[in-house]
Amino acid sequence: MTDHRDTVRRYWASADARDWDGFAAVLADDVRYELPQTGETISGLDRYLRFNREYPGDWHLAVREVLADGDRVVSRAEFTVGGETQDAITFFGFAADGRIATVLDYWPEPYQAPPGREHLID
């Protein structure tokens, strides 16, 4: 059985290195990518590869954690684009052959904590 955590780590390492052959190798042919904040859904390996190849800017990432539960994996990665850093939470689903079949990306935006909780914060 494939170690799905390892597959996700290879996914991120390939993306960061712009190793598009390595990136494609861990993806199912009918991979589906969803980005709820923008409403984008991309279906199919060729379109998803093109989406990543054409993504603007000089971005890099560092994987902070990868958690697995059966055929579901979630990762938290820190992305740096143009000196700005953002976290992304990504959920992965897998095909029967161990390749990534679904990618669901969340990019939480930072915001100010509401007043009145100062006494609870370290």
Domain boundaries, the chain: 4-109
What does CATH list as the number for 4-109?
3.10.450.50
Q: What's the sign of the alpha-carbon dihedral 50, 55, 59, 61?
A: negative
Q: Across the chain, what does the average pLDDT equal? A: 92
Q: What's the sign of the alpha-carbon dihedral 36, 41, 45, 51?
A: negative
**What pLDDT is attached to residue 56?**
80
Is 103 within 8 Å of 44 (Cβ atoms)?
A: no
Q: What is the pTM (predicted TM-score) of this model?
A: 0.89
- How far apart (Å, rounded) are the C-alpha atoms in residues 13 and 50? 17
Which stretches of the chain drop beneath a pLDDT of 50? 1
